[in-house]
Chains A and B, each alone.
Chain A
Amino acid sequence: MFKLKVPKKQRETIRDKLKIANPIEYEYVLTTDKDLIEEDKINIVFDEEHVDKIVKILDLLAKGEDVFITGYNELGQKNIESRYVHYFTIEDDDVIAVLNKYRFIIKMKLYEVEALLKDKHFIRVSKYALVNINRIDYIKPAMNSKLILLMKNGDEVEVNRHYYKTFKETLNL
C-alpha cells in the first residue's frame, strides 16, 4: 500500500517507525525528498521530525475509520470496535462476535454484518463464519480442498470448500 523512498542511511529507521513493509504494489509514496515523488501515485512528502504524525495518517489511510457494532452478553450491552472482533459465527440462529476473551450476541443477520464490514477486511469463509483477516494467525491446509484458520485467540475456523476459491483470490494465496 505504501512505498518508502528515502535515502539509504535513513531507510531502516524510518521504516521501523512508520511500521511499513516493502510492498510490490502500492498506491502511496512516502518520501523526505520532493525530487523522489512519483507522478502517477499519491505522494506524501514529510520531514523526519514528523514521523509520529505520519504514522497516525497511515493508520487512518490503511484501516479507515473504525466501525462499531452493538453486542450483548450476560453483563449487558457494549459497542464493539470491529477491529477487535476475530470472527463472527452463527450459534443457535444467533450471530456471535468472538473477541479475544469475550463473546457477544449481535442482533443482525450475518450477511448484514458482512455488508457493514465489507471494507474492514472481513471475509466470509463459510455459511456460518465471517473472519477478520488481521486476526488470522496461521492457515493449515486440510484434506478435501479445505483450509483451517488458526485465529489469534486459539480458535479454529474452517474455510468451506465453497468459499475456498474466493478466500484464496482475496488474499492472493
Chain B
Amino acid sequence: MDRFLIFLEFLINNLIIVSTITIAVILTFYLAHRAYKEFKINYKLRKFQQRLRNLSTKQKQKRAMLVSLRVFAPVFIVLLVLQVTMTSPINYESHMTQLKKSEDIEMIHSYYNQKFSTQVSLRSSAQSATTESDVLDTIQLTMGETLSETIKTDGEYIYYLHEQGLTVIVPENSNNPISSNITEPFENIIDFEPITIMIDDAQVIVIGNGRPNTMSIFDELDEEVDEINTYVLIFDKSSSLTFTESYAINGTYQDGHHYEENLYVITKHDVDFDGNPQYQLPSVEKNGFVSKITYSDMYYIEGTRPEVFTSILHIDMASNAISQKAMLSDLDTETLFVGNDVYFISESLLFYEATEMFTMSDPVAKVRTAVTRFSTLSSGIEYYKTRIIDGTFDGNMMVNENQTELMILTHNMSKSSYNLHTLSLDLNHVITSSELNFGGYSVKTLMKQENHLYFVTDESLQNFYVLNLANEDAELLHVSQSYNIPTTLAAFKDGLFIGIKYTNIATENGPVDGLRISLFDISNPYHLEERFYEEVHLSSFGFSLAETTKVNKPFILEIEHNQLILSITSNDEITSLINESVLVFNISTDSGFATSAVEYSTLTGEIGNSFFIILEGHLYFIVNDDVIVFEMNDTHAPVYQFKLE
C-alpha cells in the first residue's frame, strides 16, 4: 500500500510521465487492435488455403512474435523508464538535480548529513567569513527616492505601509494630508509585518509577512497552518487603490524584484529533518486557490546544504499568470536580480571521496560557490544553468554597467587570498578569474566606479585598493591607508564622492560618538584624496547622551542644492526623551562643508525608524508615525507636522 501511495505521489508530481503513460496505453490499445486484425486475417487466409488443399502454409512465428512484442513495447518502455526514474540514485556528478519525488529530498538530506558529519568545523569558518563588520555602500539618491522599503512615493502620493495597513498621503494638502487608510485585506492577516512597497504606473504592490486568519485549504490538506506566509497584495491605482489580487506564499520573504511586467518574490521556509522529515512543499494561494509546486519544479544544487526551500514566484502582472520554481538550498543563499533573470549564489561543498580522506589533512571538503540562474520565458520562470566557482562567497557581487558580466568575489580561506570571477551572464563562460591578495586580510567590501574596482580591507587601519578592469592582467594597487575610510560613499559630482563614517571623535573629555563627513576626490583612480572633512559631535544635538547607529539612519545627498541631509538621534537616559534631529550640510567643492541649518523636533518614545522624502520642494522627515515637513530652501523652515495614523 505504501509503495502504491509513493507511486501515486510520484505520478501527481510528474505530470509529464502521467501524460506519457496515457499516450503509451492508448498506443498499446491501438497496436493490440491492429495485431488482432492481423492475426485474424492470416488465420482466415490459412483456412482458405487449406480448403484449396494447400497445406504447406505455416504460421509465421517470427512475425507473430514481433507483432505481439510490438503491442506491449510502449508499456514496456514506460515501465522501464518509470522503474529507472523512480529508483535512480541522485546523480551528484552534475551541478543540478531535478527532484522527482519526496524520497529524493530524504536521499539528498541523508547523503549530505552523512558527508557533513565529518565537516562540522566548515560551517562556522564559512560563517565567520561572511560576517559583515561594516558596509561600504555606494548610494546615489534621486528626487523622490527613499531608503525606506515601507515608505515610498510615485511623485504624486506618499505610500506608507505599516502593520495596520497602507496609508496614502497627499503631500500638497497640509490641512488634511492623509488621503486614505486602507485596512482591507490587512485585517485578515495575523501579525502582519510590513516589508516593502513596489509602485508602477498602474499598481501598488505591497509585500509583508504574516499568518492567515481564516481556514484555508492547507487545513484540508492536514498540514500545519501556523507557518509564516509571505503576502503579496496588489492595489489598482486607477480605481482609488482597490484591492485586486492577493498571493500568499508559504515561507518568509527574502527578496523581491519588479521589472517590466514581471514581479518576482523570493521566499524561504525550513525543511525540518529532526526525526521524520517534515516540510511543506512550496505553494502559493492566489485569491483563495492553492497551487502546490510539483517535485519536477524543484531543484537541488550540488553540494549546497539542503536546509530550506527557496521559492521563486513569478507573477506576470499583465495576465496575472503565475509560475513557481524552488530550490532545496542553503539557508544563506543570496539573490541577485538582473532584468528578468534571477541569480542565486550559494555555498557548495565538494566532498572528497573516502579514500582521499586518509591522504588529506583538514579540510576534507572543498568550499565552492554555486551560481544558479533562473530565467523568465513565455512559460514563466524556468531553471537555466548552474556554474560552480572556487572559493567562499562573502556577499560581494555586482553586474557591470552594460549588463553583460557578473562579478563575484570569493574568498580562498586556505590561501588567505581572494578570487575575482567574471562570468558571462548566461553562466556559460568564465571570462576572467583573477587571484587577489590583500596581505592576508579580509575584504570588507568592494565598490565599482567606471572601469575601476575598489576594495577596502577590514584592518583597523583600513587599506584601500584599486583594480583596473579595463586591463585583463590588471595589477591590484594599494592606494592608501587611513583610519578615515568611510562606511558609506555617495557619488556627488565632478568625480567627487561624499564619504560618511560613523566613528568616535576625540575630544578633551575623551572620545564621543560622532560623524566624519568627507569629500573625496577619486578622479585619479589610483589616488584617494580626502579634500575636506567635517567632524560632528552628536552630543551637540539635543541631549547630552547622543547616539547614532548605522542602522535606520538615512541620509539624502541632494545634488541639485548641494546638500547632504542626515538624521541624528539623541536621548536622555533619565527622562527617556528622544530627540530626532535633521542636520543639513551645504557642500562646496572649494571650501568643504558648512552646517546650513539644524532643526529639532523633540519627540518621546523609543528610537524608531526615520526616513526622508524630498518631493515638490519639500523635505518630509518621517520618524515613527510623525511627519515633519520642511521647506527645501536655505532656511529649512518647518511648514507643518502631522501623524501618519
Contacts and interface: CB of A to CB of B under 8 A. Distances in A.
Do chains A and B interact in one complex? yes
Interface of A: 1, 19-21, 23, 58-59, 62-63, 121, 133-134, 136-141, 147, 150, 171-173
Contacts of B55: 19, 21
A121 to B, nearest CB: 6
A55 to B, nearest CB: 9
A139 B45 contact: yes
Contact of B60 (A1, A62, A133, A138): A138
Interface of B: 34, 37-38, 40-42, 44-45, 47-55, 57, 60, 63
Nearest to B64: A138
23 contacts: A1-B52, A1-B53, A19-B53, A20-B50, A21-B47, A21-B55, A23-B51, A58-B53, A59-B53, A63-B53, A134-B54, A138-B45, A138-B60, A138-B63, A139-B38, A139-B41, A141-B34, A141-B38, A141-B41, A150-B60, A171-B44, A171-B48, A172-B47
Contacts of B45: 136, 138-139, 171, 173
Given A134-B49, A139-B45, A172-B48, 18 more contacts: A1-B52, A19-B53, A21-B47, A21-B50, A23-B51, A63-B53, A133-B49, A134-B52, A137-B60, A138-B60, A138-B63, A139-B41, A139-B42, A140-B63, A141-B34, A150-B60, A173-B41, A173-B44
A150 B45 CA distance: 12
Nearest to B49: A134
A138 B60 CA distance: 7
Contacts of A58: 53
Contacts of A147: 41
Contacts of A63: 52-53
B48 A62 contact: no
Contact of B38 (A20, A140, A172): A140
B48 A138 contact: no
B644 to A, nearest CB: 76
B199 to A, nearest CB: 61
B67 to A, nearest CB: 9
Contacts of B60: 137-138, 150
A110 B49 CA distance: 24
Contacts of A173: 40-41, 44-45
B51 A1 contact: yes
A147 B40 CA distance: 13
Contact of A20 (B37, B41, B53): B53
Task: Give the dominant DSSP class at A's interface.
Answer: mixed
A20 B37 CA distance: 26
Contacts of A139: 38, 41-42, 45
- Residue of A58, A136, A138 ringed by the most chain B CB atoms within 10 A: A138
B61 to A, nearest CB: 11
Contacts of B50: 20-21, 23
Contacts of B53: 1, 19-20, 58-59, 62-63
B71 to A, nearest CB: 14
Contacts of B42: 138-139
Q: Which 4 A-B pairs have the closest CB atoms?
A: A21-B50, A62-B53, A134-B54, A139-B41
Given A138-B60, A138-B63, A133 B41 contact: no
Contacts of A121: 52
A173 B34 CA distance: 14
A139 B43 CA distance: 10
Nearest to B35: A141
A54 to B, nearest CB: 12
B353 to A, nearest CB: 55
B37 A141 contact: yes
Nearest to B51: A1
Given A138-B63, A139-B41, A140-B38, A133 B48 contact: yes
B54 to A, nearest CB: 4
Contacts of A20: 50, 53
Contacts of B54: 134
A139 B39 CA distance: 9
Contacts of A171: 44-45, 48
B210 to A, nearest CB: 61
Contacts of B49: 133-134, 136
A133 B52 contact: yes
Nearest to A16: B55
Nearest to A61: B53
A140 B54 CA distance: 20
A138 B42 CA distance: 6
Contact of B44 (A23, A134, A137, A172): A172
Contacts of B44: 171-173
Nearest to A58: B53
Contacts of A62: 52-53
B60 to A, nearest CB: 5
A57 to B, nearest CB: 11
B59 to A, nearest CB: 9
Contacts of B47: 21, 172
A143 to B, nearest CB: 10
A137 B52 contact: no
Nearest to B43: A173
A121 B54 CA distance: 11
Contacts of A150: 60
A18 to B, nearest CB: 9
A170 B44 CA distance: 11
A116 B50 CA distance: 23
A63 B51 CA distance: 10
A35 to B, nearest CB: 26
A62 B52 CA distance: 6
Nearest to A26: B51
A12 to B, nearest CB: 15
Contacts of A19: 53, 55
Given A173-B41, A173-B44, A173-B45, A137 B57 contact: yes
A41 to B, nearest CB: 15
A58 B338 CA distance: 91
A20 B51 CA distance: 8
Contacts of A134: 49, 52, 54
Contacts of B57: 137
- Residue of B54, B55, B60 ringed by the most chain A CB atoms within 10 A: B54
A6 B39 CA distance: 32
Contacts of A21: 47, 50-51, 55
Contacts of B37: 141
B274 to A, nearest CB: 61
Nearest to B46: A21
B620 to A, nearest CB: 77
Nearest to A22: B50
A121 B45 CA distance: 13
A136 B41 CA distance: 12
Contacts of A59: 53
A86 B345 CA distance: 75
Nearest to A171: B48
A51 B47 CA distance: 23
Contacts of B41: 139, 141, 147, 173
Nearest to B57: A137
B170 to A, nearest CB: 74
A141 B63 CA distance: 13
A139 B51 CA distance: 18
A159 B461 CA distance: 96
A37 B41 CA distance: 33
A51 to B, nearest CB: 15
